[in-house]
Chain A
């Protein structure tokens, strides 16, 4: 195995958002304009934006997404290599640079000066719609569970297929034979008739001079050689020996280290701070005052932190000082009463059906603010010198990071370079709109320019200055017909409109209302976004309806999903995997839930028990329909990770607010699930022809309701507030608990 090629090349650049746009727009890629000349000295021929081939027959997939553990680098390289019929042992992966020409996947290469050598008219072969879209969105996002189904399906595969056609054509021209007589396999083109063959590396430069086909045919599933097989992730070896480099590991000569404390109450600003004593502390270079924060720059993190903690910054007083978690939920309840809100979905007349109903069910649910708490604390290393700004960091959108850095540095985009690194956890915390730490790092670096500085947040800073999953109040009502099936569903929730609130179930009269929320707590996308709360609401409430109807919750769902064979298949698979209906030991209960998110349908069966007042999740059985699976083991890991992430939140996690500020500080008071809390997880992917869905997030939403429903089955206690463990303790403390 070639050592060189088994490394993931991180650190040369960054990611592009082709995936997002392609996924959303459903566009078919016209592969990029070729770029004949390599930008480096390796004499590489770049056939399309996404593939480089060097004369030694090394093939590098240039992947426009960040690697944050989801395996996107490997999966995308597999998709390209499969279509290209490349020899996998000689395939490497490299993250695309954070430059606009890589945004949205394609055509901009055609506009680069390098093309001056080639006469090809630039408009040809370019998908105009895609180009136009790209000009609007200068993004390179990894999010929305989009890398594989977006960039992979529409970008990498087309690029691989196009490159293969070009290589075959180059060989045919060289040998003066018909292209149709040549075959490609394992990075080599062969002409059997004349017994000639050449490696891709030998053909690459000629091939790069050809016009790429605009819509190359992709393989049928039966012809796949890599996709669908278990391929080891390229990034894993470096993650077992300490050699993997993350943003926090950046090291520049002469670099200083800073840490920061931002205004504890969002929206307040720094009024004053006495910096004299801190600046006299050993190793401290400077206390930097920013509009909303104070930072200390020192010769190391520990000294910076000690000095920062000695400061007594005064922040402007604010109107939010009286805000607590309770006042926030009370305000939500009030708004829910007084505001009309906006309709997410409506059919028939739910209110009327409710009024005339023989039986109605109502329930109110709450989910808390949640932190992302990625294991790698926020950080960025910045050097501002010679009219340029360079940033080393790990984010989910380096192009957005570049924009944030350019604005803060007051430089043009072209003067800013972002070197995106491996990401020690994203989950939405490193998406566009959440790059506050980059802005801070640039401002701090400006204050000590030209000396480079690495800004590292403490964990306390991370927990207190996240962009939280919103806290949401959901109010639900349903009417049951005499046959106990639901005829009406009415729901209101405070979280803004989101299609995730839509019902999968066949219920005639529906009214789903979103009430906008207004508070000063920062919110953002948290793994699975709005599906995280709506999954809990909808799947808890349907369970309550089944109970009110005196029906088995699995059978009840089945009868309401007859219109959707895809949902039914997933639900039934989960039930059989989770042994639904099989007798359980005393004290245990099973719960089921099904949610579609990001194009993937997932159902979980949870099995739980309360042991000495502690809710123990013994196992979770998951059935997943994400369409075709590209890297089965990687896909499995994503579902396992999603289940654990969601179990942690469902059981333990809650950001509380007191005196207007976040009242949690670190893992001691914001506990996350540990090994001992981890359920046994079994996962089955359905063999499916559905369009490819995402996998990074869809494992999350059904977890909380499946556990809560299982808890009800085990104990008769219906917990409607997350997290479950503290809510259960409250419930158990009541003299005569009833649900």
Chain B
């Protein structure tokens, strides 16, 4: 079936079985190999992308269900040359080990911060359910807090945009 996908702001014509998970279309047809396959059953989050800004596990999303929805992958997270604040925090805190889960971790964390600019530890525990087999959780947590602070500091002083500090 011919479809159009909008990935990282670009429109792609694809031909795929409608029930093919988005993950495989992204990886195999469009070359977005930063999106990772970990479990195929929505249990690990390695395949996390953004659908219109919200985190989604692409291994369990039929491609036909996302036609027309803006999709962002790890490759498109940064706006321009400058890495996203979450990516910067990841480097500053030296988060990745093997790195295989980290595309998904970063996408999930960026989505969390977009909706909750100052998450508590409990928020992070509840929202970041990605699996990291290398055990980088503590650094992920620290880096999320650091990215949150970085985003707040970088924001022009407008009246308490988005949420209060806890």
Interface residues of A (CB under 8 A from B): 68-71, 232-233, 235-246, 248-249, 251, 257, 282, 300-303, 373-377, 422-427, 456, 458-459, 633-634, 637, 640-645, 647-648, 666-668, 672-676, 678, 680-681
Contacts and interface: CB of A to CB of B under 8 A. Distances in A.
Ordered nearest first, which 3 A-B pairs have the shortest CB separation?
A242-B34, A644-B135, A239-B99
B40 interface: yes
B132 A375 contact: yes
B44 A425 contact: no
Interface in B1-59: 17, 20-21, 24, 28-29, 31-41, 43-44, 46
Nearest to A669: B43
A667 B91 contact: no
Contacts of B43: 666-668
Given A241-B87, A459-B40, A633 B133 contact: no
Interface string B122-133: 001110111111
Contacts of A243: 34, 75
B61 interface: no
Interface in B79-122: 83, 87, 90-91, 94-103, 106
B74 A375 contact: no
Contact of B38 (A427, A459, A640): A459
A305 to B, nearest CB: 8
B93 to A, nearest CB: 9
Contacts of B126: 676
A374 B131 CA distance: 11
B70 to A, nearest CB: 17
Given A645-B135, A675-B140, A242 B32 contact: yes
14 contacts: A69-B97, A236-B99, A237-B91, A238-B99, A246-B100, A248-B37, A375-B46, A375-B101, A424-B36, A426-B98, A637-B136, A641-B134, A642-B135, A666-B39
A666 B41 contact: yes
A643 B135 CA distance: 8
Contacts of B77: 241
B40 A672 contact: no
Contact of B96 (A236, A251, A456, A673): A236
A375 B131 contact: yes
A16 to B, nearest CB: 20
Given A302-B21, A377-B38, A666-B41, A240 B97 contact: no
B153 interface: no
Q: Interface centre among B128, B131, B135, by most A CB within 10 Å? A: B135
B133 A458 contact: no
Given A248-B37, A301-B24, A674-B129, A637 B100 contact: no
B135 A459 contact: no
Contacts of A637: 94, 97, 136, 139
Contacts of A300: 20, 24, 28-29
Main secondary structure of the interface of A (DSSP, over half): loop
A27 to B, nearest CB: 30
Q: Interface centre among A68, A241, A248, by most B CB within 10 Å? A: A241
A373 B133 contact: yes
Q: Interface centre among A237, A425, A648, by most B CB within 10 Å? A: A425
A282 B17 contact: yes
Contact of A672 (B31, B78, B100, B133): B133
Contacts of A282: 17
Contacts of A68: 97-98
A457 to B, nearest CB: 10
A376 B100 contact: yes
Contacts of B17: 282, 302-303
Nearest to A424: B100
A678 B97 contact: no
A375 B47 CA distance: 11
A69 B98 contact: yes
Contacts of B34: 241-244
Contacts of B21: 302
B59 to A, nearest CB: 10
Contacts of B99: 69, 235-236, 238-239, 244, 422, 424
A69 B74 contact: no
Contacts of B36: 248, 375-376, 424
Given A248-B36, A459-B40, A666-B40, 16 more contacts: A69-B99, A69-B134, A241-B83, A242-B103, A244-B34, A301-B28, A302-B17, A375-B44, A375-B131, A376-B98, A424-B98, A644-B134, A645-B135, A666-B41, A674-B129, A675-B124
A672 B46 CA distance: 14
B44 A667 contact: yes
A309 B73 CA distance: 29
Nearest to B34: A242
A675 B97 contact: no
Given A236-B94, A242-B33, A300-B20, A459 B138 contact: no
Contacts of A233: 94
Contact of B137 (A237, A376, A644): A644
B135 A640 contact: yes
Contact of A374 (B32, B133, B136): B133
B145 interface: no
Given A675-B141, A676-B126, A245 B133 contact: no
A232 B100 contact: no
Contacts of A633: 94
B83 A240 contact: yes
B138 A640 contact: yes
A240 B124 contact: no
Nearest to B127: A675
A242 B134 contact: no
A419 to B, nearest CB: 16
B25 to A, nearest CB: 9
A336 to B, nearest CB: 33
B138 A680 contact: yes
Contact of B131 (A249, A642, A643, A672): A672
Given A69-B98, A240-B106, A377 B78 contact: no
A668 B97 CA distance: 23
Given A239-B99, A376-B98, A640-B138, A668 B133 contact: no
B33 A245 contact: yes
Q: Interface centre among B31, B99, B102, B139, by most A CB within 10 Å? A: B99
B133 A375 contact: yes
Contacts of A645: 133-135
Nearest to A665: B41
Given A235-B99, A249-B33, A675-B124, A641 B94 contact: no
A301 B95 CA distance: 30
A69 B96 contact: yes
B81 to A, nearest CB: 11
Contacts of A239: 96, 99, 102
Contacts of A673: 135, 137
Contact of A240 (B24, B87, B134, B138): B87
Nearest to B39: A459
A681 B136 CA distance: 11
A301 B97 CA distance: 27
A242 B49 CA distance: 12
Contacts of A257: 28
Contacts of A238: 99
A302 B138 CA distance: 34
A236 B106 CA distance: 13
A527 to B, nearest CB: 10
A241 B75 CA distance: 6
A249 B34 CA distance: 8
Contact of A425 (B32, B98, B103, B137): B98
A630 B97 CA distance: 17
B104 to A, nearest CB: 9
A239 B38 CA distance: 16
A680 B121 CA distance: 11
A232 B91 contact: yes
A143 to B, nearest CB: 15
Contacts of A667: 39, 41, 43-44, 131
Contacts of B141: 675, 678
